[in-house]
Amino acid sequence: MPIYEFQCKTCQFCFEEIIPASREDMPPCPRCGSSENVVRLVSACASQPGRKTESTCTPRGGFS
Residues interacting with Zn ion, by CB under 5 A?
A: 8, 10-11, 13, 29, 31-32
Closest to Zn ion by CB, 11 vs 41, is 11
Kindly tell me which of 21 and 60 has the beta carbon lying closer to Zn ion.
60
CA atoms within 13 A on the CB side of 27: 18
Beta pairing class for 38-41 and 3-8: antiparallel
**What sign does the CA torsion over 64, 37, 54, 61 have?**
negative
Give min distance, CB of 24 to Zn ion, in A: 20
Residue number with CB closer to Zn ion (21 or 63): 63
Q: CB of 20: closest distance to Zn ion in angstroms?
A: 22
